[in-house]
Copies of this chain bind each other. A is one copy, B any other.
Amino acid sequence: MVSIDVPPPTDRPLAVGSLVAALGDAGYRVTEPRRVVGELIAARGGHFSAADLIADAHARRTGIGRATIFRALDLFTELRVLERLDLPSGEHAYVPCAPARHHHHIVCSVCGRVAEIEDVGLAGTLEGVQQRTGWQVDSHRLELYGRCPRCRSGRHA
């Protein structure tokens, strides 16, 4: 079975509530700064860097400091509603996601949107590697890059 998590109709990978709710569910305090960080994350369509959020927070004149943002990002990541990934450029980026089971991401190199891919069917491939190489494959990271349907059809080269 291969189910694809097509980006929601609206564009928004994850509702603000999900992020904040995860806090409460896990027994963490739902504070104002964390709520705001959640909003800022939701306000961005796709992946973003810590610097992006810090800039957003500053632009919106919230009094939130860098440290708090980094701490919130760590927290959300720990709660698995956020995932940290490495762009080909070597930069770090975060992407909101449902705390689901193992999945991968595909990043649009034009607009930055990110979609989750539930299962690409790697199990067999990895099994093959294991048998051919003698290595035991414990985990893996797969990141895909390309163009989303929207950017694909249209003016973009």
A contact residues vs B (CB 8 Å cutoff): 2, 4, 6, 84, 86, 88, 90, 92, 106, 108-109, 115, 117, 120-122, 125-126, 128-130, 132-149, 152
Given contacts A90-B84, A122-B125, contact A134 B106 (CB under 8 A): no
Q: Do A115 and B133 touch across chains, with their CB atoms under 8 A apart?
A: yes
Interface centre among A125, A135, A143 (most CB of B within 10 A): A135
In the assembly, how many copies of this chain are there?
2
CB < 8 Å neighbour of A144 from B106, B108, B140, B143: B140
Q: Do A146 and B138 touch across chains, with their CB atoms under 8 A apart?
A: yes
Q: Do A125 and B135 touch across chains, with their CB atoms under 8 A apart?
A: no
Given contacts A125-B120, A129-B117, contact A138 B147 (CB under 8 A): yes
Q: Which A-B residue pairs are the 8 nearest by beta carbons?
A: A134-B149, A138-B146, A137-B146, A136-B147, A86-B86, A136-B146, A139-B145, A140-B144
Closest chain B residue to A122 by CB distance?
A: B125
Closest chain B residue to A109 by CB distance?
A: B138
